[in-house]
Chains A and B, each alone.
Chain A
Amino acid sequence: MRTISNVVCPFCGSLCDDIEVDVEDNRIVKVRRGCAISVTKFTKYNEERIYKPRINGKEVSLEEAIDEAVKILANAKYPALYGWSSTSTEAINIGVEIAELIGGVMDNTASVCHGPTIIGEQDAGISTCTLGQVKNRADLIIYWGCNPVHAHPRHMARYSAASKGRFIKGRKERKVIVVDVRKTHTAKTADIFIQVKPNSDYELLTALRWAVKNGELEQEEISGIPAEKIEELADMLISCRFGALFFGLGLTMSAGKARNIEAAVALVRELNNYTKFVMMPMRGHFNVTGANEVMAWATGFPFAVDFSRGYPFYNPGDTTFVDVLTRGDCDAALIVASDPVSGFPAEAIRNLAKIPVITLDHHETLTTTISKVVIPTTVVGIETEGSAYRMDAVPLRLKKLVEPPPGIPSDEEVLKMILKKLKERVK
């Protein structure tokens, strides 16, 4: 048996890098320090595994599957490549080149989660930091529309509310505020819980900014919160030494979307006139940030890139995968490390089911069931090493802990094979 330490967990955007695993007979037998999700991922990654490539449900050789994938992509007029948030940066990088070569759309799952955060940032900027800044300095933390107790279970202990840093030694030295539409488990741990009326975050953020700037509000109540409470909150924000606002899909996917982010950016910017304040999206999949990073350095744009003109073009709402699908524009799709069928709008899924889909994944998903070509790949961070970016864009190296099942290549290897063959066909 061997013990591997400082393992980076390939599940959520927290990328905890202190996991310890015991490996015996090429199996992970024990996981230390991981959260419940992490332990499940490390010990049950083999469940519902795909072992053989398939075309139309029929098992084929890897070569046949790749040839079929190449044929589909080469013949497509407007193919789309989607997913990417749960694979390595290296694999995504090759995905970008494939999309460029065949003039397709390259999009990642940010477009259905923190896309509005990126759009908001592009409009208004953002004051942010790495998680260690929060751990070392933050004496006030807000969780807005996010529930780390469930979604990022070790976030609060390692990086935020209860973390121990150089200047701030733990939970007692911090004020924690939760803003949400319901009393979540995270809210139950907070010093102050603000129950905002659904779809009125924008108003509350704007009122808070007004209160920070001017002290007093005209209205009696905003977004279901009494004015005095908002004013009191504004005073708290001004009085902290270092404040951090973490936000989730409660803010990006409720009414206002990118405008909510802009309102939060404006609040944080205003607060920097009084004290130090930062904000950070709670990114979900372990390498969704990396997908944005690699696409940005290769194409200038972090998601929703359309190569049909030969060069990168970006217009979210138009070049985003959901919209391309809903319009019925794309005639083939390559899905990597993602399951759009389980979360996309019905209209988009109907259209996806009509076109040839190639899916790279290690286990069965709803998307594999509608795919023409399914190519099984390794689990990144368990069977394959690679780079990934934490929610604060800190890059880490995922480790290889065990050997993959015989004959199963990584996403990167499969994509390289596809790219090589496509290059021979497309000049």
Chain B
Amino acid sequence: MELLIKNGYVYDPINKIDGEKMDIAVKDGKIVESVSSSAKVIDATNMLVMPGGVDIHSHIAGSKVNSGRILRPEDHYKDVKPRTAITRAEVGHTVPSTYTIGYRYARLGYTTVIEAASPPLKTRHTHEELNDIPLIDKSCYLVLDNNWIVLDYLSQGEINKCAAFIAWILKALKGYAIKIVNPGGVELWGWGKNVESLDDQVPPFDITPREIIRGLCKVNKILNLPHTIHVHTNNLGKPGNYRTTIETMDAVGDLANGRPNIHITHVQFCGYAGYSWITLRSGAPEIAKYVNNHPHVTIDLGQIVFGEATTMTGDGPFQYILHNLTGNKWKNADVEAEGSAGIVPYKYRRKNMVNAIQWSIGLELALLIKDPWRLFLTTDHPNAGPFTEYPRVIAWLMSTKAREKTMEKINKRAKKRGVLASIDREYTFYEIAIITRAATAKALNLENKGHLGVGADADISIYNINPMEIDPSKEYKKVRRALKRAAYTIKGGEIIVKDGEIVKSFIGETFWVKPTMSKDLEREVLKEVSEKFKEYYTVSLENYVIGESELASSKPITVKTNF
């Protein structure tokens, strides 16, 4: 099938195209030079054309997300849509059903989304849900930093064996990258405890959070994985934690060679200055300063959107603290030899000082960090708000007026605890295209995503807004409305959304990495692992492995390692 998208204003930062009026040709799911005269024509005159959105961090599938659904029937009742001839019924607001997630991302013009944290033992569950998320392409990060086999190897200084184990587990469980969640702290949560600094000991492993992060950063380098280590820091959600965040970034600075080697996720949640909730203030300026001066770091925002949220992380001890702070219902789910998860429903209120400061911190980070290629838009869905609110965040980034309008309504004391009011930077559409698509695709090293050059996957979003005429600074509401419902979303060359409605549904691909490794090394490590497995786990090694046929649409990516 051929498509020709005519006369749109194209924003394609990877190919340095900044609002140029041009045609995009599509054939057999790919962007091509030209198409025949029989191609279906989409008239994009006076419309905004971008590559399909790529979300680098969102909780969309697996045991934790589903626990959130089960825990929160109250979340689902008021956000429903009956089945149509094309779509399944939609249900759920902050923790929607699998089908709903696919449709809503597609309506926003997003076509690739990564599940941010899958505990290995329950990754089969993650894949079963990913199989049921329609339209978008997807993948998942494996949580590996509190994994006993990883900790055993790292504490023995066996970096190569650790790398071999991780190569095997990514392949066996069909994951994409190494996720780190409160390294060491989550292991101690197995005893109801936590760490407080990067240099605390994690008994009985004789290892510190710093050593875990550095070890996994080295492993990542050996494995030559497409994405960096993806880090949820220690001390998340605690006043004063911006120092831990900077220390974490700095812990691997010497291991970098010009390119990013660490991604710190949802930095808003670890960008707090002050010594208590009473003295809380923004740590964004300090973090931004560090990031601006250190090219080895990328971050995503975890931007707060006022309203309902469901907090869910692999950081068990943090969720327990949040439960004690709020009194809201709490689910905890520890996973043997691997980690934990916690869920607490939450509502961000603009009149609450802490929430208002949190809101400000995210935006300050986005506005103070100069290089948009190292900063990505997320709400850490559904932790800081549902992904469906991205257009609202984009409006804040593009318009000082939009920010001022919200600032008028937030808690008065909060305004003095941050620097947001003093910033007049406004994002352009080009920069928005970077932080929502181009830079995320680049950070994930997805060559065929996030751009519209010849050979790229034909994942395209078209919004009914004229970037040449509109002044986003003043008319931010128009921007918000247009981005909420794509005029067209095209996935793999197929039109899936038209005028904000789903017009076609199918299942996208699940991609995962297959690092190369010598048979001998794999055999040696598996032998050791299978011994440990009997002691640590309650399932056999054979049943832990996920077959490729268990994925609805599997797309392995072979990675040449540096063993």
Contacts and interface: CB of A to CB of B under 8 A. Distances in A.
Contacts of B189: 276
A397 B550 contact: yes
Interface centre among A93, A272, A275 (most CB of B within 10 A): A272
Interface stretch (B23-31, B444-452, B540-548): B540-548
Contacts of A300: 69, 73, 75-76, 91-92, 95-97
Interface stretch (A34-42, A204-212, A304-312): A304-312
A293 B91 contact: no
Contact of A89 (B81, B88, B128, B320): B128
Contacts of B75: 300
B83 A100 contact: yes
B325 interface: no
Contact of B83 (A5, A133, A164, A310): A310
B501 interface: no
B336 A299 contact: no
A242 B75 CA distance: 32
Given A6-B540, A8-B543, A165-B535, A129 B70 contact: no
Contacts of B95: 300
B332 A126 contact: yes
Contacts of B85: 427
Nearest to B336: A132
Contacts of B77: 313
Given A272-B320, A311-B89, A131 B538 contact: yes
A394 B122 contact: yes
| Nearest 10 interchain pairs by C-beta | A132-B336, A310-B82, A276-B192, A129-B334, A125-B329, A311-B80, A300-B76, A395-B124, A127-B332, A125-B330
Contacts of A242: 190-192
Interface residues of B, number: 64
B547 A137 contact: no
Contact of B331 (A125, A297, A387): A125
A132 B75 CA distance: 31
Contacts of B65: 297
Given A17-B540, A166-B148, A311-B83, A124 B76 contact: no
Given A17-B543, A166-B535, A395 B333 contact: no
B359 to A, nearest CB: 26
A275 B191 CA distance: 7
26 contacts: A17-B539, A89-B128, A100-B89, A125-B344, A132-B336, A132-B337, A132-B536, A133-B336, A166-B535, A242-B190, A277-B192, A293-B125, A297-B132, A298-B99, A299-B97, A300-B73, A300-B91, A301-B73, A302-B70, A312-B80, A312-B89, A314-B73, A394-B121, A395-B124, A396-B124, A397-B547
Contacts of A101: 83
Interface residues of A, number: 65
B553 to A, nearest CB: 16
A165 B344 CA distance: 30
Interface of A: 5-6, 8, 17-18, 89, 93, 97, 100-101, 118, 121-133, 135-137, 158-159, 164-166, 241-242, 269, 272, 275-278, 292-294, 296-302, 307, 309-314, 387, 389, 393-397, 427
A188 B66 CA distance: 38
Contacts of A121: 70-71, 331
B83 A296 contact: no
Interface of B: 61, 63, 65-67, 69-73, 75-77, 80-83, 85, 88-92, 95-99, 121-122, 124-125, 128-129, 132, 148, 189-192, 320, 323, 329-337, 343-344, 535-540, 542-543, 546-547, 550
B221 to A, nearest CB: 30
Contact of B125 (A124, A310, A395): A395
A91 B535 CA distance: 34
B63 A393 contact: yes
Contacts of B148: 166
Contacts of A166: 148, 337, 535-536
Given A296-B69, A297-B128, A300-B97, 15 more contacts: A121-B71, A125-B344, A131-B538, A166-B536, A272-B192, A298-B98, A299-B91, A299-B97, A301-B69, A301-B73, A309-B80, A393-B333, A394-B122, A396-B539, A397-B546
B128 A387 contact: yes
B20 to A, nearest CB: 42
A417 B333 CA distance: 38
Contacts of B538: 130-132, 135, 158-159, 394
Given A17-B540, A121-B71, A275-B192, A393 B83 contact: no
A11 B261 CA distance: 47
Given A387-B124, A397-B543, A297 B323 contact: no
